[in-house]
Chain A
Amino acid sequence: MSYTIIGTGSALPARSVTNDELSAFLDTSDEWIRTRTGIRERRVCTTESLDDLAEQASLRALASAGIEAGDLDLIVCSTTTADHLMPAEACAVAERLGASCPAFDVSAACSGFVFALDVADGYLERGRARRALVLSAEKCSRIMDWTDRSTCVLFGDAAAAVVVEAGGASPLWTRLRTIPNVAALDVPGVVGTSPFDLTRDAAKPSALSMKGRSVYRFAVTEVSRELRDMAAETGVALSDIDHFVLHQANERIIEAVCTHLGLDRSRVAVNIATTGNVSSACIPLALDGMSRAGELAPGELVALVGFGAGLDVASTLVRWEAGPS
Chain B
Amino acid sequence: MAESTFDRVVAILKDQEGLDDVELTRDTNLAEVGLDSMATVEAVMACEDEFGIEIDPEANPKTVGEFVDLVDGLLDK
Contacts and interface: CB of A to CB of B under 8 A. Distances in A.
A and B are partners in one complex rather than unrelated chains: yes
A221 B45 contact: yes
B57 A252 contact: no
A contact residues, range:
10 to 19
Nearest to A35: B36
Contacts of B37: 212-213, 216
A322 interface: no
A214 interface: yes
A213 B41 contact: yes
A220 interface: yes
A214 B58 contact: yes
B12 to A, nearest CB: 14
Contacts, number: 30
DSSP class of B's interface residues: helix, strand, loop or mixed? helix
A311 to B, nearest CB: 11
A217 B58 CA distance: 10
Nearest to B39: A252
Interface residues of B, number: 12
Contact of B38 (A211, A214, A252): A252
Interface in A213-258: 213-214, 216-218, 220-221, 250, 252, 256
A250 B60 CA distance: 20
Sorted from nearest, which 4 A-B pairs have the closest CB atoms? A214-B57, A252-B38, A216-B41, A213-B41
20 contacts: A35-B36, A36-B38, A211-B57, A211-B58, A213-B59, A214-B57, A214-B58, A216-B37, A216-B38, A216-B41, A217-B41, A217-B44, A217-B45, A217-B57, A218-B57, A220-B42, A220-B45, A250-B38, A256-B38, A256-B42
